[in-house]
Structure 1
Amino acid sequence: MVILKIKPLVFILICLFALNGCSKDIENKENKFTLDDALKVLESQNLNLVSFGITGYPLKLNDVIPELYSIEASGKEDPYNPEFIHFYIFNSDKDRVNGTKEFNKHMENAHFTTFPFIYEKGNVLIVYWSNTKDNPLFTKPIETALEQLE
């Protein structure tokens, strides 16, 4: 009689553990983007991104080194002074939030020759370095692209 009561209880516990595990997988996949995901949506906005690799000493945030891309724009007045985008792809949304806090802390006393504009979605942090503070060329395409990131 005791054995008959234990089997359903064990079955229920196994089901609860399985459901809990599945729900965490779904939660983690929802905002887990790759660099390719981010590049595709930005290029869909007619931004021509050119990989620059790692140059100089890029700002490492929360143990993530960014991927650096320049933006080539047709009709731009000075093709020898490109604007850049740093892509930080974190392991989770929480890591991205911590990376953003770390970035802001580094920028508190910085003096700029280019100006950072931050965009965030899921585990992705994009820092667009514009040559102008008041009229950045690529703000709208970046915002539109991130809305499409799924």
Structure 2
Amino acid sequence: MISKIKPLVFILICLFALIGCSKDIENKENNFTLDEVLKVLESQELNLVSFGITGYPLKLNDVVPEVYSIEAPGKEDPYNPEFIHFYIFNSEKDRMIGTKEFNKHIERAQFTTFPFLYEKGNVLIVYWSKTKDNPLFTKPIETALRQLE
């Protein structure tokens, strides 16, 4: 009887360990913090200044964005900055839901600035450019997001 229980207990312990490890991998994969995202953007010589919550930023999938002004040295009027919204979701799946919500909102909206969306893992970045054809910060944002690991 005891000889049959030992292998069964061993198998159960192994199963619990595998399940626990797979959950850790799932949770760590493609989940970034706001600090990590800010760090890679600032490495592209972008000056980001926290604006807190200004006006009524669009809440997506129960996430309120962190709002920052964005400028590069010598390129922008400090009294008329462009803005960037950072949505940090709990998971990549939640970010996809948030992106769908955003796209539904902008279908019929008219803006004075133009939204450019960038997605990586659990992060959605909305860069609000003053120009539709020649946004100033597209390249630095794309380069920074490629650096996120």
TM tier, smaller: over 0.9
State the distance in 2 between where 1:7 and 1:78 align.
72
SS of 2:118 mapped into structure 1: strand
- In structure 2, the partner of 1:12 is 11
The one-letter amino acid of 1:57's match is Y
1:57 and 2:56 matched: yes
State the distance in 2 between where 1:78 and 1:13 align.
64
State the distance in 2 between where 1:13 and 1:77 align.
61
Per-residue displacement from partner, 1:100-147 (whole Å, max 9, x unpaired)? 000001110011110000001111100000000000000000000000
Q: Is the 8 A contact 2:46 2:73 kept in 1?
A: no
Q: CA deviation at 1:5?
A: 1.2
- In structure 2, the partner of 1:83 is 82
State the distance in 1 between where 2:123 and 2:71 align.
22
The one-letter amino acid of 1:5's match is K
State the distance in 1 between where 2:49 and 2:95 align.
24
Q: Is the 8 A contact 2:52 2:66 kept in 1?
A: yes
TM-score w.r.t. length of structure 2: 0.96
1:72 and 2:95 matched: no
Distance 1:123 1:81, change over 3 A: same
- In structure 2, the partner of 1:92 is 91
What is the number of residues matched between the two proteins? 149
* RMSD, aligned CA: 1.0
State the distance in 2 between where 1:143 and 1:10 align.
50
Poorly superposed stretches of 4+, deviation over 3 Å: none
Give structure 2 stretches of 5+ with no counterpart.
none
- In structure 2, the partner of 1:42 is 41
Structure 1, 71-80 or 53-62: larger mean CA deviation: 71-80
Give structure 1 stretches of 5+ with no counterpart.
none
| Identity score, percent | 87
State the distance in 2 between where 1:77 and 1:43 align.
16
- In structure 1, the partner of 2:133 is 134
Q: CA deviation at 1:77?
A: 5.3
State the distance in 1 between where 2:98 and 2:38 align.
20
State the distance in 2 between where 1:18 and 1:45 align.
41
The one-letter amino acid of 2:109's match is A
TM-score w.r.t. length of structure 1: 0.95
The one-letter amino acid of 2:36's match is D
Q: CA deviation at 1:73?
A: 2.4
